[in-house]
Amino acid sequence: GAVVSQHPSWVICKSGTSVKIECRSLDFQATTMFWYRQFPKQSLMLMATSNEGSKATYEQGVEKDKFLINHASLTLSTLTVTSAHPEDSSFYICSARGPNYGYTFGSGTRLTVV
Amino acid sequence: AQSVTQLDSQVPVFEEAPVELRCNYSSSVSVYLFWYVQYPNQGLQLLLKYLSGSTLVKGINGFEAEFNKSQTSFHLRKPSVHISDTAEYFCAVSETGGFKTIFGAGTRLFVKA
């Protein structure tokens, strides 16, 4: 079946530094990937839609200069949290649209900014 | 635009009892509907989806859901739950032919021995 690998699964970084999260579709090509943010005990909030070979589409209220998205190939999208601050601490999840109109999710990345 | 409402934030239930997790949606166009399960500190796993055809959809782990267009509902059911079913369950909707998926707030299913 369709598998999406997300790395790292958890990361701790210092305030002011940048963190890159990778999302890979392992056995299918994904022209579109999605990045979500999930606060504790809350639902997933769509941050942006990542399109291969073009700019990402950001949801209202999401700072595109803080959350840089690059979708350089059909199997890889990256989310870079720039100049991270403690309020950026969250669980970030990517997903890709696979075969049969199924959305496959990565295992998530727990980001803690100290 | 679509929206999803999960009517119960928490559902406690005893092991081997039946359970229903409720989901209502609103949309001005045709939609696809999904149920996902999330275990602690993990991503989401697709339980089942409705795209078209039969309104009763069977998924993994013994779950099923019924699409009711007139009531704009897509409730999730399981006839007998296990301790291992304890998790967060999300109902989601997307426009047919669209890409974005909108999630409900989630329902925490807690199965007690």
Q: Which of A23, A26, A41, A44 to mutate to test the interface with B (most CBs of B within 10 A)?
A: A44
pLDDT at position A104 is 84
pLDDT bucket at B99, cuts 50 / 70 / 90: low
**Are B25 and B4 contacting, i.e. CB atoms less than 8 angstroms apart?**
yes
Judge: A93–B44 Cβ closer than 8 Å, yes or no: yes
Half-sphere exposure of A84 toward its Cβ, with a 13 Å CA cutoff? 21
Q: What is the mean pLDDT of each run of 10 residues along chain A (114 residues)?
A: 88 97 91 89 88 89 94 91 96 84 83 96
Span B87-96, average pLDDT: 90
Over the stretch B29-88, which tens digit does the pLDDT of each residue have? 888 899 999 988 788 888 999 988 899 999 999 999 999 999 999 999 999 999 999 999
Interface contact flag, A34 B45, Cβ < 8 Å: no
Q: Residue B97 pLDDT > 80, yes or no?
A: no
List of chain A residues whose C-beta atoms are within 8 Å of the C-beta of residue B101: 34, 46, 95, 103
pLDDT of residue A11: 96
Q: Which pLDDT score is estimated for A99?
A: 66
Closest CA to A6 of A113, A110, A114: A110
Mapped to the 3 state alphabet, what secondary structure does A17-71 carry?
CCEEEEEEECCCCCCEEEEEEECCCCCEEEEEEEECCCCCEECCCCCCCCEEEEE
Q: What's the full length of chain B, in residues?
A: 113
Tell me, yes or no, if A53 comes closer than 8 A to chain B by beta carbon.
Answer: no
Q: What's the confidence (pLDDT) of residue A100?
A: 65
Q: Is A107 at the interface with chain B, CB within 8 A?
A: yes
What is the chain A residue with the closest CA to B32? A101
Interface check for B34 against chain A (CB to CB < 8 A): the answer is yes
Please state, as a whole number, how many other Cβ atoms lie within 10 Å of the Cβ of residue A77: 31
**Smallest CA–CA separation between A113 and chain B, in Å?**
17
User: Does residue B61 contact residue B109 with C-beta atoms inside 8 Å?
Assistant: no
* pLDDT given for residue A42 in this prediction: 81
Handedness of CA A106, A110, B2, B7 (dihedral sign): positive
Could you tell me which of B91, B90, B88 has the C-alpha nearest to residue B108? Answer: B88
pLDDT of residue B42: 81
Coil/strand/helix, residue A87: helix
Distance from CA of A59 to the nearest CA of B (A): 11
Q: Which amino acid is at B37?
A: V
Would you state the pLDDT for residue B41? 76
Determine the residue among B37, B41, B44 to mutate to test chain A binding: the one whose Cβ has the most chain A Cβ atoms within 10 Å: B44
DSSP state of A82: -
